[in-house]
Amino acid sequence: MPNKKIWILAEIEEKKIKKVSYELLAWAASLAKREALEIVAILPGESNNPENLFKYGADRVLHINNPLLNNFLPEPWYKAITFLIKKEDPDVFLAAATTTGRTIMPYIAGGLGTGLTADCTLLKLDLNDGFLYQTRPAAGGNIMATIKTTKGRPQMSTVRPNSIRIHLIESKEHSVIEKIHINDNLLKSNLTFLKRTFFDTNSDDIQEAKIVVAGGKGLKKASNFTVLKELATLLNANIGASREAVDKGWMGYPNQIGLSGKTITPDLYFAIGISGAIQHLAGMQTSGTIVAVNNDSDAQIFALADFGIVCDLFKFLPIFIEKLNKFQGGSNGEC
C-alpha cells in the first residue's frame, strides 16, 4: 500500500483539540507501517494548538481554519470534508464515536457511496490488500462482528473513545500545518447554530475518572454496593458496574462498563466480584493498573489483572477498607 493515507477527524472544543483526536492518531499509528502509510489529521475550525497533532503522530495536518466550522453543523462540515476527500483520495478515514463523529460520518459515507462501520473497538489493516478489518459489538454486545468494505473508498469507521491509550512522540522536523481555504459560499447551511449546553460538570463520569471501583454479580445484591461506595469514597474514585449488575438493577446504565456500556481508561481499576466476560474486558482493558478480587481462581479477569486477589470479597473488602482508613489517617499500619 505505498503512498496511501490514513485520515483522522480531529475535534475541537473552545478552540482546543480534544483528547479523542489524539486517540485516533494512536489508532492510525497502530495500523500503519510508517514508511508505507501517511497519517493525516483533518482539523475543521479555528484552533489554538494545531501543532499538538504532530506530537501525537500526525505526519500532516490539514487545517480548515474557518470560523464557520467552529460550531458543529453537519452541512458545512460535510461540504468541507468531502471537498478534501475528493482532492486527496484517502484510503482510510477514522473518526471518534462521539456526537460529532456519529453524526458527520454517515453523512459523508452516504454522500460518497462508501461503507461505514460504527462504534468499533478494534481495527486491523491488511497492508497487502489494503482492507481495513473493523470489529464492533453486535446483537446487543453478545457477539463481535468483523466487517470490511469491499467497494467504495475511503474505508470509514467511528471508534469508541477511550479504547486506546495515547502516547507522545518526537515532533517531526519542519512539520508544517497546511492551511486549507474554502470559500464561505460553499459552507452555507440551512441550519443555524443557537447555543451549546454542557452536561452538569458535577455529575460522575466514569469515562473521565482516574480511579474506578467496579462491582459485578459477585456482590449478590444491590445493597452490597454500599461497601463498594465506601471504598470509592476513600480512593476518590467513581463507581462502575458489569452489565449483569446493571441488568439486575443494582446500578444504573451510566455506570455500565463494556461493549454495551462505556469504554474507560483509568489509571487504576478495581474489579470486585467481576468474572471478566469478553464484553466487559473490552471496556476496561486499557486501564493503567488493574486489581481484581474474585473467589474463583479461574476467573477470566485474572488474565488481565496486574494484581489478583483470590478470596471472598465480603471478607476482603472490610479489612482492606479498615487498613486504608488507618493508612490515610497517618497510621503506620500496613495497607
Number of domains comprising the chain: 2
Domain boundary among 149, 172, 187: 187
Tens-place pLDDT, residues 219-273:
999 998 998 999 999 999 999 999 999 999 998 888 899 877 888 889 999 999 9
CA distances from 312 to 270, 296, 315 (A): 15, 9, 5
Domain end point (choices 154, 187, 220): 187
* 37 has pLDDT over 80: yes
Indicate the pLDDT class of residue 34, thresholds 50, 70 and 90.
Answer: low
Does some domain include residue 197? no
Strand 37-44 vs strand 143-147: parallel, antiparallel, or unpaired? unpaired
Does residue 148 surpass a pLDDT of 50? yes
Residue 172 has pLDDT above 70, yes or no: no
CATH number, residue 148: 3.40.50.620
Shared-domain flag, residues 50 and 183 = yes
Q: For residue 15, is it within any domain? A: yes
Question: Residue 278: which domain range?
Answer: 211-328
43, part of any domain = yes
Peptide bond into 154 cis (omega under 30): yes
Q: CATH no. for residue 266?
A: 3.40.50.1220
Asked whether residue 165 falls in the same domain as residue 222, the answer is no
Same domain, 174 and 216: no
Q: What confidence score (pLDDT) does residue 332 get?
A: 42
The answer to whether 237 and 213 have CB atoms below 8 angstroms apart is yes
Predicted local distance difference test score (pLDDT) of residue 95? 94
Same domain, 155 and 60: yes
**173 and 283 inside one domain:** no
Question: Strand locations in 66-202, DSSP E?
Answer: 92-96, 116-120, 122-125, 132-138, 143-147, 155-159, 177-179
| 190-196 mean pLDDT | 81
Together in a domain, 168 and 28: yes
| Rg of the chain, C-alpha, whole Å | 22
Q: Are residues 255 and 124 part of one domain?
A: no
Mean per-residue pLDDT, 144-160: 87
